[in-house]
Amino acid sequence: MENQDILRHLETLLFITDKPIPSEKLAALLEREEPAVRDLLGQLQNSYMDSGRALQVVESGGGFQLATKPEYASCVRKLYRERMTARLSVASLETLAIIAYRQPLTRAEIETIRGVEVIAALETLVERGLIKVDGRKETVGRPLLYVTTPEFLRFFGFNSLEDMPKLETLVEKKPEQPQEEQDTGLPVDETPAAPPEPENQQQLPMDEENAAGNNQDGGEPEQTAQEPDNENSPEDKDAGAQDTPQDDVGSAESSLPAEEKEAGEEPKTEQ
């Protein structure tokens, strides 16, 4: 069979089916090796592109099929208006997304994630052929396990589950705020400043602060040290120091105990 004849047979197989055909199956039908069939698929796709046809060869759902180009979707929508407007509900979409990213899952596990019952959503998805039962979980009660189907991949245009967008790209990340914004809840420029301290305020020692507090309460501050008499001149101070009576020395000596007087000039210190 010549190359052109193989291309025509390949085009016929892709046209006659409404579901993607795996390359392995195409190779078996055409009695060719799979790498050779993939090369023929590329040639067929190039011929559609070069001729400006409305059809194209697409790989989705684990296989190949003929499909219309996106720019002609409005024409197809007019013909299949009722079929294409049958959309999935929000509950069904949420359930399908959970199964797609966490499969295989039991009904109880899906309900734990969603927080509500999913019986109706599961029935809808099974009826649409987007999910199926794939065995039972080896646990108490052996519940059914649900997984996605090749129809799910074809419906959303994926070739495999690895082609689905990553969860990290779907979840919008909030930009990290500076520490000042996290503490106050306001931007840095709008953060209220601390009230300015008075310029004339002086830091007083603890004793003076207590004394100032006593003055505010109506009492007089306690004098901790005797203030010098500023009215006396330095000469008067010197004269006063020289006029100290000698009796003070005697009185100081008389205040000593008798034992210390007899001991001499150096008094004993009590142990």
Report the alpha-carbon distance of residue 215 to residue 39 in Å, rounded.
102
Q: Which tokens hold the place of 9?
A: 């047979």
127-155 core/surface letters (b: 16 or more CB in 10 A; e: else): ebebbbeeeeeeeeeeebbbbbbbbbbbb
Our count of domains for the chain comes to: 2
Q: In this structure, are 92 and 153 located in the same domain?
A: yes
Contact between 161 and 118 (Cβ < 8 Å): no
Decide which of 61, 81, 101 is a domain's last residue: 81
Q: In this structure, are 62 and 97 located in the same domain?
A: no
CA dihedral sign, ordered 241, 244, 246, 247: negative
Q: So what's the pLDDT on residue 184?
A: 47
Q: In this structure, are 139 and 122 located in the same domain?
A: yes
Contact between 74 and 40 (Cβ < 8 Å): no
The distance in angstroms from the start CA to the end CA of the chain is 127
Report the alpha-carbon distance of residue 59 to residue 65 in Å, rounded.
7
pLDDT per residue as tens, the chain (271 positions): 678 889 999 999 999 988 889 999 999 999 999 999 999 999 999 999 888 889 999 888 888 989 888 888 888 778 776 555 567 889 999 999 999 999 999 999 999 999 999 999 999 999 999 999 999 999 999 999 999 998 898 888 888 888 898 877 776 655 555 554 444 454 445 545 555 555 555 554 555 445 445 444 444 444 544 444 544 544 454 444 444 444 444 444 444 455 444 445 555 444 4
Q: Which tokens hold the place of 59?
A: 């790989």
- Please report, for the domain that includes residue 127, its CATH number: 1.10.10.10
Report the alpha-carbon distance of residue 48 to residue 42 in Å, rounded.
10
Assess whether the previous peptide bond of 192 is cis (omega < 30° from 0).
Answer: no
Domain that holds residue 44: 3-81
